[in-house]
Amino acid sequence: RVQQMEAELSHQLSALRAEIEENGFSHGAGKSYSVPPPKDVSFFRVEREHTLRRGLQSQADVMQRELESCLSLEYTPDSLPPLLHQFYTDRSYHLAQIKYLLMLRWRRFCRHTSVIEKLYPHYKVTA
Q: Is the pLDDT of residue 32 over 70?
A: no
Complete DSSP assignment for 64-106 = HHHHHHHHS-SS-TTTHHHHHHHHHHHHHHHHHHHHHHHHHHH
Backbone angles phi, psi at 24, to 5 degrees: 95, 5
With respect to residue 2, please indicate whether it lies within any of the assigned structural domains: no
Any domain includes 10? no
Say if 95 falls within a structural domain.
Answer: yes
Please tell me the distance from the alpha carbon of residue 110 to that of residue 103, in angstroms, as a whole number.
10
Q: Is residue 124 part of a domain?
A: yes
Number of folded domains that form the chain: 1
The H or E element spanning position 4 is helix 2-22
Residue 28 CA, chain-centre distance (Å), reads 50
More confident residue, 27 or 19: 19
Query: What is the residue range of 85's domain?
Result: 75-127
Task: Determine which of 68-77, 84-93, 118-127 has the lowest per-residue pLDDT on average.
Answer: 118-127
pLDDT at 31 over 60: no
d(CA 11, CA 25): 19
Dist. CA 36–CA 101, nearest whole Å: 77
Structure-model confidence comparison of residues 67 and 118, the more confident one: 67
Q: Is residue 59 part of a domain?
A: no
DSSP 46: H
Q: What is the mean pLDDT of residues 77-103?
A: 94
Tens digits of per-residue pLDDT, 68-85? 988 888 888 888 999 999
Closest CA to 79 of 70, 87, 71: 87
Single-letter amino acid, residue 126: T
Q: Is the pLDDT score of 29 beyond 60? A: no
Instruction: Kindly state whether residue 3 falls inside one of the protein's structural domains.
Output: no
Q: With a threshold of 0.75, does the pTM exceed it?
A: no
- On whether residue 18 sits in a domain, the answer given is no
Does residue 87 form part of some domain? yes
